[in-house]
Amino acid sequence: MKIAVVSGKGGVGKSMIASSFAILFSKRGKKIVACDCDVDAPNMAIWLGIRKSKLIRKVKTSKKSFIKNQKEAKKCNLDPKICKFGAISLENGKYKINRFLCEGCGLCNALCPKGFGLKDVENAEIRIVNTKFGFPLIFAQLYPGETGSGKIVDETVKEAEKFDHEIMIIDSSAGVGCPVNASLKVANYAIIVVEPSLSSYADMKRVLRVIKYFGIEFFVLINKFNLNEKVSKKIENEFKDRIIGKISYSEKLIDCLSKFKTAFCDEKIKKEIEKSFENFLKKLNLK
Ligand code: SF4
């Protein structure tokens, strides 16, 4: 079974819930593998109190253009404007590629194959940690300025699959882009973490469209609910039996995180997460 923890908006507590649920499942004796697919900003490890990790492998899931032969490139006489990403420039009669702007669409290579090449580039690495809670955490880190995050999620899930497990907890990226699609397409269940702000509520609706597209059963957890009880109530009324719990805002959690402690270091938050977890198990008819 794969459970994806998602949110429309970033910073709402998704990684905190994913890591806490992984710990609670593990305490129940379930074989867990945690998979942090938030490749732009993987921080599930921090919520699990981990500082060090080991490289599994580097991945190449994106392509970049390069100047294969300057003379041949000049013969083609391509207008740099053919690149809609502004990655090609012509300076003092020489073509140049800005690798940070190149999206690897391959147009320059198709129009001038002898002058412009296209190659696979290392854009991320997949790492592993054996947590003190008895389960492995697999996560990927996208290199700064790189693309291809959806395919990196595919590779990360593939690595996580290699570990014996009953439940995979996937900490998805926020938003509705490729890495979110890649996390949701393999999930059996989704937990949407939302905070009671209008922006989080609006972004939640967007991610819900993706969840419905994939036909995944979903549940909703309201984090920091006491910051705006009116919006919180609105979410509760709208999603009724989909709601698995409400977690309070806690300044102590910031302190816990900075000391590499889990969310359970705040006793009140611990109880609220445990209650949400129990509700989730009931919804799934799990023990
Ligand atoms: S591969 Fe596409 S994005 Fe990259 S430089 Fe060529 S045309 Fe531009």
pLDDT bracket for residue 176 (50, 70, 90): confident
Task: Select 2-60+124-283's CATH number: 3.40.50.970, 2.40.50.100, 3.90.76.10, 3.40.50.300.
Answer: 3.40.50.300
* CA–CA separation, 17 and 245 (whole Å): 11
Find out if CATH 2.40.40.20 is the number for domain 62-121: no
Helix axes 14-27, 267-283, angle to 10 degrees: 70
Residue nearest to atom 4 of ligand 1 (CA): 102
Bridge partners of 120? 63
Q: Counting Cβ atoms within 10 Å, is residue 181 exposed (0-12), middle (13-18) or buried (19+)?
A: middle
What pLDDT does 204 receive?
A: 93
Is the CB of 97 within 6 Å of ligand 1?
yes
Q: How far is the CA of 90 from the centre of ligand 1 (A)?
A: 14
Domain positions in the chain are: 2-60+124-283, 62-121
Question: Quick one: average pLDDT of 208-226?
Answer: 96
Is the CB of 106 within 6 Å of ligand 1?
yes
Residue nearest to atom 6 of ligand 1 (CA): 108
Q: How far is the CA of 154 from the centre of ligand 1 (A)?
A: 24
Question: Quick one: average pLDDT of 242-247?
Answer: 96
ipTM of this predicted structure: 0.99
Is the CB of 103 within 6 Å of ligand 1?
yes
Question: Quick one: average pLDDT of 76-96?
Answer: 96
What pLDDT does 12 receive?
A: 92
Q: What is the pLDDT of residues 123-174, one digit of tens each?
A: 999 999 999 999 999 999 999 988 889 999 999 999 999 999 999 999 999 9
